[in-house]
Every structure is written in C-alpha cells, then in structure tokens.
Amino acid sequence: MRLFWEIARRAFHRNLTYRAATIAGLVTNFGFGWLRVSVLLALYDGRSAVEGITQNDLYTYVALTQAVITYLSLFGWYDLMESVHTGEVGADLLKPMSYFQFWMARDAGRAAVAFLLRGVVIMIFFEFVFPMTYPSGWQWFWLGTAVLFSWLVSFTYRFLINLAAFWSPNARGIINVGYIFGWLLSGFLMPLRLLPTWLQTIAYLTPFPYTLNMVVEVYLGLLQGPELYQALLLQLVWALGMAILGQLVLKTAVHRLVILGG
C-alpha cells in the first residue's frame, strides 16, 4: 500500500507541472460549456423543467460534465497503450507490484490533480455566471462517494480497452471507439433522462452511466433512498467486474508480448 501511495504522489506532482495546459483546458472547457448551455436550453422551449430537471439544474449539469471531463478522462487516455508500443511495459511488469495497481496508482495521482485544478475551478467559474443548484446535508457525503466510485469505473474501463495495444501495433482507433460510445451513454452529450426510454435501457446495460451520469444525478438529488444505494452498489459491481476481466485479459496479453524480439 505504501508503494501505491508513493507512485500516486509522484504522479500527482508530475501532473501539477503542466500549468499552461491546465489554463488552456480551463478556458476551453468554460467556452464549450457556455455553448452547450445555449444549445440545451432550446430543449426547454419556455418550460421551467423537463423530466424533473429545472433550468438551474441544467446549468449545474453542464458545469459538472465540463468539470469531470479530465477527472474521468472522457476524451481519451492512452498512457498504457503508449507504454506497450514503446516497450516500457517490460519495465512496468517487473515492478514490485501488480501491473493493474501500478496504473491505478498513476491514474489516481492524475485524477486528483484534474479534480482540484480543473473540476473545482470550473464549478467556481460557472457559479459566477449561472444560477446553480447545490446539494445539502448528506447529499455531500453520497456525492463524494459517487465521485470516487465513478473514477473506479472509469479507470477499470480505460485499463481494459487499453489492453488492445497488446494485439495491435496501433490500437488508438480501437480505443477511440470505446470512448465515442461513452460520450452518449454516460450522459455527457445530454442528461440520460432526456433520451428515449429504449436508449436509456441500453445505456444502463453498460458501465457508462455509472461514471458521469451518476455524479450528476446524485449532485442534483435525482437519486434518493434505496434507488441511490442500489446505484452506488452497481458502481462497485461494474468496477470490480471490469477489474477482474482486465486481469484475465492481461494474463492472455502478457503471454503474447514480444519486446525487441524477446
């Protein structure tokens, strides 16, 4: 466990050094967020609420989805893939901890920086411009739990699809397909509650709603009581299931790994 936290700490400090990228990302996220608000407001057509989501909730939804883009790596994470293609995977597999734990520690440090410098700051930016909705009481506790579990689901999914690099000399296209489905089914393009019922049903057969959409619905108080506890449990089930599947795929992948002809 000590080694895990040491790797996470180093990843945290390494990601803190990218200040220019952080500033550029904040400006871009806020700009696109403003555009998304303008487009999504057209769905209301003068109504105060749609499917239980008020206009203030909509502003909060856009703020949250923009805030967690980097935290959950919604637009791509290729670090593991690149380590396989460069041969660094050979050294990674020799480290005194499991390959899965090593990448989880690295991603934990990255996600922590993204949460503080991108997530929190974006929420503050939106607060100055739009009327926002806020959790209250125990909602904050459940929100924190959902945010943590959403990262677990996101990481185990990203770890799994990055393993395609063991079978392809350029797995970026394969991995991108996995991310594209996530943009719609996670609720990033629009709240899942606004999608057709049949599409919502399909979405909840995948892990995607248990990342971004879960955070939004807990924050807005749309999930309460037994429904909330069930959703949190399903987050853990998806994370654990994909972690186990990732380990099984990794075992097969390592057997076919060739580095410098060895």
DSSP string over 71-139: TTTTT---HHHHHHHHTTHHHHHTSSS-HHHHHHHHHHHHHHHIIIIIIIHHHHHHHHHS------TTH
Q: How does residue 258 score in pLDDT terms, banded at 50, 70 and 90? A: low
Establish if 25 belongs to a structural domain. yes
Residue position matching structure tokens 């990055």: 162
Residue 54's φ and ψ, nearest 5 degrees, are -80, 170
**Strand, helix or coil for residue 258:** coil
199-219 residue pLDDT tens: 999 999 999 999 999 999 999
pTM score, whole prediction: 0.91
Tally Cβ neighbours within 10 Å of residue 1.
Answer: 7
Tally Cβ neighbours within 10 Å of residue 221.
Answer: 17
Strand partners of residue 54: 49
Average pLDDT of span 136-160: 95
Establish if 141 belongs to a structural domain. yes
Query: What interhelical angle do 139-162 and 172-185 show, nearest 10?
Result: 150
Q: What is the pLDDT of residue 152?
A: 97
Given a cut of 90, whether residue 106 has pLDDT beyond it is: yes
Q: What is the pLDDT of residue 232?
A: 96
Which range marks the domain in which residue 122 is found?
A: 2-255
Going from the C-alpha of 194 to that of each of 37, 38, 43, 189, 197, the distances in angstroms are 15, 16, 9, 10, 9
Given a cut of 80, whether residue 257 has pLDDT beyond it is: no
- Which positions ≥6 away from 54 have C-beta within 8 Å? 48, 133
Q: What is the pLDDT of residue 103?
A: 95
Q: What is the pLDDT of residue 73?
A: 92
13-58 residue pLDDT tens: 888 887 788 888 888 888 888 888 888 888 887 787 887 788 888 8
Q: What is the pLDDT of residue 85?
A: 85
Average pLDDT, the chain: 89
Establish if 261 belongs to a structural domain. no
Instruction: Residue 38: name the closest of 129, 125, 124 by CA.
Output: 129
Given a cut of 70, whether residue 262 has pLDDT beyond it is: no
Average pLDDT of span 83-93: 86
Check: CB of residue 259 under 8 Å from CB of residue 87: yes
Check: CB of residue 250 under 8 Å from CB of residue 102: no
Establish if 262 belongs to a structural domain. no
Distance CA 76, CA 93 (A): 23
Establish if 84 belongs to a structural domain. yes
Q: What is the pLDDT of residue 25?
A: 82
Instruction: Give the rounded distance of the alpha carbon of 17 from its chain centre.
Output: 22
Q: How many domains does the chain have?
A: 1
Q: What is the pLDDT of residue 259?
A: 61
How crowded is the C-beta side of 50, counted as CA atoms within 13 Å? 16
Average pLDDT of span 95-114: 93
Average pLDDT of span 67-76: 91
Establish if 152 belongs to a structural domain. yes
Given a cut of 50, whether residue 172 has pLDDT beyond it is: yes
